[in-house]
């Protein structure tokens, strides 16, 4: 009877656990792929930086409260476009820049201004994008840009903030 139970458990593992694990994207080129719905209920394909989970601590002021972010320096969209056109072909950029498509770069920024993580959200299911090129794009952004952050009160404990930027075509998102 014990042997039969072992065989059953082994069979369960082979039939159900391994296919579920194998069907998940486990970080190709430093991204995990996810599908989710945006604010409008539209499907988004998200390439989340596998390091993003490391950067969750919010900055703190003297009262150990999270101060309000009141200013971020502008990044010139022409510089982002130059990086895009250096890495991606015109055909790839055109495919990602279809009418009605909004593509977002999600950055995690340390209070000292370093961009420490970059993820991407694309409208629709499975955009045709070379993940090796997307990883190169992420690394260029992290290397070339440093943000200047202004908070409502003095920071006494460093942390991270989230910042978004529209890409393909490059354009800063203005929040009201």
Phi/psi for 79 (5° steps) reads -70, -45
Is residue 98 included in any domain, yes or no? yes
pTM, two decimals, is: 0.78
Is residue 96 included in any domain, yes or no? yes
Is residue 11 included in any domain, yes or no? no
Question: What pLDDT, on a 0 to 100 scale, did the predictor assign at position 19?
Answer: 39
Distance of CA 91 to the CA centre of its chain: 23
Over the chain, what is the mean pLDDT?
A: 83
Q: Is the pLDDT of residue 158 over 70?
A: yes
Burial group, residue 133, by CB count within 10 angstroms (0-12, 13-18, 19+):
middle
Q: Is the pLDDT of residue 11 over 70?
A: no
Per-residue pLDDT averaged across 158-176, rounded? 75
Is residue 58 included in any domain, yes or no? yes
Contact 167, 120 (CB under 8 A): yes
Is residue 19 included in any domain, yes or no? no
Domain tally, the chain: 1
Is residue 22 included in any domain, yes or no? no
Is residue 100 included in any domain, yes or no? yes
Which range marks the domain in which residue 84 is found? 27-172
Is residue 166 included in any domain, yes or no? yes
Contact 50, 25 (CB under 8 A): no
Question: What pLDDT, on a 0 to 100 scale, did the predictor assign at position 127?
Answer: 84
Question: What pLDDT, on a 0 to 100 scale, did the predictor assign at position 175?
Answer: 42
pLDDT band at 1 (very low <50, low <70, confident <90, very high): low
Q: How many CB atoms sit inside 10 A of residue 6's CB?
A: 10
Q: Is the pLDDT of residue 173 over 70?
A: no
Contact 162, 108 (CB under 8 A): yes
User: How far is residue 32's CA from residue 142's CA, in Å, rounded to a whole number?
Assistant: 18
Contact 152, 70 (CB under 8 A): yes
Phi/psi for 18 (5° steps) reads -60, -45
């Amino acid at each position: 009877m014990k042997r039969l139970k072992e065989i059953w458990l082994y069979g369960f593992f082979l039939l159900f656990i391994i296919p579920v694990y194998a069907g998940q994207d486990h970080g190709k080129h430093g991204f995990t792929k996810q599908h989710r719905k945006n604010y409008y209920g539209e499907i988004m394909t998200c390439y989340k930086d596998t390091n993003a989970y490391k950067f969750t601590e919010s900055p703190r002021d003297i009262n150990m409260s999270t101060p309000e972010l009141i200013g971020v320096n502008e990044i010139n969209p022409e510089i982002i476009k130059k990086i895009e056109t250096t890495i991606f072909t015109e055909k790839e950029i055109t495919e990602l820049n279809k009418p009605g498509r909004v593509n977002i770069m999600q950055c995690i920024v340390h209070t000292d201004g370093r961009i420490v993580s970059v993820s991407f959200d694309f409208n629709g299911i499975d955009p045709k994008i070379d993940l090796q090129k997307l990883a190169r794009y992420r690394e260029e952004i992290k290397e070339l840009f440093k943000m200047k952050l202004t908070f409502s009160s003095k920071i006494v404990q460093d942390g991270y903030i989230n910042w978004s930027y529209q890409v393909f075509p490059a354009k800063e998102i203005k929040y009201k």
